[in-house]
Amino acid sequence: EMAEKQEEPSNTQNGEPDNTEEGEEKKKKLKREDLPPFEIVTGERLPAIFFKFQFRNVEYSSGRNKTFLCYVLETQGRESVTSRGYLEDEHAAAHAEMAFFNTILPKCESSLRYNVTWYVSSSPCVTCADRITETLKKNKNLRLTIMVGRLFMWEEPEMQAALKKMKSAGCKLRIMKPQDFEYVWQNFVEQEEGEEAKAFVPWEDIQENFQYYEEKLAEIL
């Protein structure tokens, strides 16, 4: 049984899931209705603890039910403008991938070219993959590269079909290598103020997990 259920909202915070009784009590108090229906959290840099938990390229990603999306958006017109930031989705009402198209790049001006790179904790769900495919088909001046930490529900035939469609619409889908995690760490993760930037510390199985997912993705595509 895959422990990966990214679709379900959860009140677990971004650390390891809270299984204490106190946590259960808190959860009862925090009924679903009390949660805002949807909130997009955007920011320059994400807290290190979120990165260490959510971006880990593990095979069984229990509790990792949010999507973190770090983006670099390069707009080429007379001058090139580059912006970067990150999005995380809350309460599963809409996903970070949708949020990017709804809030960061709601429309593509036909006179400009857009080069977008996403660094995402896991690959998109079927709905988001379809939205990406449609957006790319509509906007020929948009180039999208998605670097993912892990593949989400990749064994499902409809997920595989959705990823193939994304590829044929021109989306480049890549698995994050250790160097890519380091890039995100340096460019998108908060460093403690006043301290020297801490070096990225790769986790033990980072390389094997990268190779594992890369093989799976190659088989699918």
- The answer to whether residue 65 scores a pLDDT higher than 70 is no
Which whole number is the average pLDDT over 154-167? Answer: 96
Q: Is residue 21 situated within a structural domain?
A: no
* Residues 31-52 pLDDT 10s: 434 444 444 455 566 666 566 5
Q: Is residue 174 situated within a structural domain?
A: yes
Q: Is residue 156 situated within a structural domain?
A: yes
- The answer to whether residue 200 scores a pLDDT higher than 90 is no
* Residues 67-88 pLDDT 10s: 778 899 999 988 899 988 888 7
> How far apart are the C-alpha atoms of 62 and 77, rounded to whole Å?
43
Q: Is residue 22 situated within a structural domain?
A: no
Question: Which residues does the annotation mark as catalytic?
Answer: 97
The total domain count for the chain is 1
Q: Is residue 143 situated within a structural domain?
A: yes
Domain that holds residue 114: 40-190+200-220
pTM for this entry: 0.74
The pair of three-digit structure tokens given for residue 150, joined into one six-digit string: 């892990």
Q: Which of 6-10, 47-51, 90-94 has the lowest mean pLDDT?
A: 6-10
Q: Enumerate long-range contacts of 75-78, CB under 8 Å, 24 or more apart.
A: 75/112, 75/113, 75/114, 76/112, 76/113, 76/114, 76/115, 77/109, 77/111, 77/112, 77/113
> How far apart are the C-alpha atoms of 10 and 20, rounded to whole Å?
15
Q: What is the pLDDT of residue 89?
A: 72
Q: Is residue 2 situated within a structural domain?
A: no
Q: What is the CATH number of the domain that holds 108?
A: 3.40.140.10
Q: Is residue 60 situated within a structural domain?
A: yes
Q: Is residue 6 situated within a structural domain?
A: no
Of 55, 51, 64, 56, which is closest to residue 2 (Cα–Cα)? 64
The mean pLDDT value of the chain amounts to 77
